[in-house]
């Protein structure tokens, strides 16, 4: 939609999406890129950016406000590696590879309680036994189960959603229904990356948050 900031601007890399929703896209670069990725740092956190078949580079700069405000096997391995880069290799972190909806349902049956929950569900997903996740259909049930893990002493639930045809207002109203009996407030908005040269903001995701 925007005009280029410079007529001589040329992309160094381009993502070519696959025809289905289940990943499979590929990156094409004008010049060779390091196979081990790019080491990056945000405040005291160190991590590695890598190309993925899902358009992103394994990290999301638009989530920086979320970082400040506070299942895949490959994802967990990357999280472990990034924790080690930040000097947290021996930290008491429990790494779980599981179906998130099934895990939350089990926690509800166990009468577990959480202080806070961060949710970043995909638009579409497929499990090893043919399970299918469609965000528009399955998110309300997942959020309802997450609500059962929180009580009046809990602190927050933060939800981010990408690449969907819904508004932040829709997420906000869904969460208002589910969290109506808890103290605190529900907010919603958009995440984006601001262009340095002209100050334009590229929208990347929508979010909703209950907090107290």
pLDDT band at 71 (very low <50, low <70, confident <90, very high): very low
Is 207's pLDDT higher than 80? yes
Is 90's pLDDT higher than 50? yes
Residues in CB range of 154: below 8 A, 6 or more apart: 113, 114, 115, 116, 182, 212
d(CA 95, CA 128): 19
DSSP of 13-29: EEEE--SSSS---EEEE
pLDDT band at 37 (very low <50, low <70, confident <90, very high): confident
Residue 205: other Cβ atoms inside 10 A: 19
Place of tokens 């947290």: 88
Burial class (CB in 10 A: 0-12, 13-18, 19+), 206: buried
Distances (CA, A) of 148 to 30, 52, 157: 50, 34, 12
pLDDT at 78: 77
What φ, ψ does residue 61 adopt, rounded to 5°?
A: -60, -25
Residues in CB range of 156: below 8 A, 6 or more apart: 70, 116, 117, 209, 210, 211, 212
Burial class (CB in 10 A: 0-12, 13-18, 19+), 128: exposed
What φ, ψ does residue 147 adopt, rounded to 5°?
A: -60, -35
d(CA 208, CA 164): 14
Q: Can you give the pTM of this predicted structure?
A: 0.64
d(CA 35, CA 37): 5
Distances (CA, A) of 44 to 66, 69, 82, 85, 194: 15, 15, 11, 10, 22
29 vs 103: which has the higher pLDDT: 103
Q: Choose from 5-19, 74-88, 131-145 the range with maximum mean pLDDT.
A: 131-145
Give the residue extent of every domain in the chain: 9-96, 98-212
Is 47's pLDDT higher than 90? no
Is 63's pLDDT higher than 60? yes
Using a pLDDT cut of 70, give the percent of the chain over it.
Answer: 86
Architecture of domain 98-212: 3-Layer(aba) Sandwich (3.40)
How does pLDDT run across 109-126, given as a tens digit for each residue?
999 999 999 999 988 877
d(CA 84, CA 104): 27
Burial class (CB in 10 A: 0-12, 13-18, 19+), 42: middle
């Amino acid at each position: 939609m925007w005009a280029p900031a410079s007529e001589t601007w040329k992309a160094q890399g381009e993502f070519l999406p696959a025809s289905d929703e289940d990943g499979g896209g590929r990156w094409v670069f004008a010049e060779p890129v390091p196979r081990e990725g790019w080491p990056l740092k945000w405040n005291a956190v160190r991590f590695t950016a890598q190309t993925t078949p899902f358009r992103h580079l394994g990290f999301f700069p638009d989530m920086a406000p979320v970082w400040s405000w506070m299942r895949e096997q490959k994802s967990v391995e990357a999280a472990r590696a990034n924790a080690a880069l930040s000097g947290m290799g021996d930290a008491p972190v429990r790494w779980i590879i599981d179906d998130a909806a099934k895990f939350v349902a089990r926690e509800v049956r166990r009468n577990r309680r959480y202080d806070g929950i961060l949710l970043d569900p995909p638009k579409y997903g497929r499990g090893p036994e043919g399970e299918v996740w469609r965000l528009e259909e399955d998110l309300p049930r997942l959020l309802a189960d997450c609500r059962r893990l929180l009580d009046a002493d809990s602190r927050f639930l933060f939800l981010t959603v990408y690449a969907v045809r819904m508004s932040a207002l829709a997420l906000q109203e869904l969460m208002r229904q589910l969290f109506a009996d808890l103290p605190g407030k529900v907010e919603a908005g958009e995440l984006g990356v601001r262009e340095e040269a002209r100050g334009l903001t590229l929208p990347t995701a929508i979010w909703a948050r209950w907090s107290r």
